[in-house]
Amino acid sequence: MYQQALGVFAAQFCLVGLLGLQSQHIRDGKKLHAAITSALLGVAGWTITGVVSSAYTQGMLSVVFFAFLIAGPIAISLSIYAHEHFHKEKK
């Protein structure tokens, strides 16, 4: 169960983190970055579909469900921080 929860957490974390970065790349007009992130989103989406579907039987209020739930807020916060850190404008 905990191994499954870790897999679900990792898959959701990657997907939401990439979605956050994708949004910022599009906003900033970074075409190449957005294209690369889009390809990575395809891989992440394909992966998370399989991972979550195999864990779905655990149901809501399970460890797996909460792993899925907490991955998103952590990932989006980290993606915002990472984007700000790595794309600082030179002053």
The pTM is what? Answer: 0.80
Q: Which long-range contacts (CB under 8 A, 24 or more apart) does 24-28 make?
A: 24/79, 24/80, 24/83, 24/87, 28/87
Confidence (pLDDT) at 19 = 94
Domain residue spans of the chain:
2-86
From CA 42, how far away is CA 65, in angstroms rounded? 23
What is the pLDDT tens value at each position of the chain, 91 positions in all? 788 889 889 999 999 999 999 999 899 899 999 999 999 999 999 988 888 888 777 778 889 899 999 999 999 999 888 878 877 765 4
First-residue to last-residue Cα distance in the chain: 49
Closest of 66, 42, 57, 48 to residue 7, by C-alpha = 48
Burial of 16 (0-12, 13-18, 19+ CB in 10 A): buried
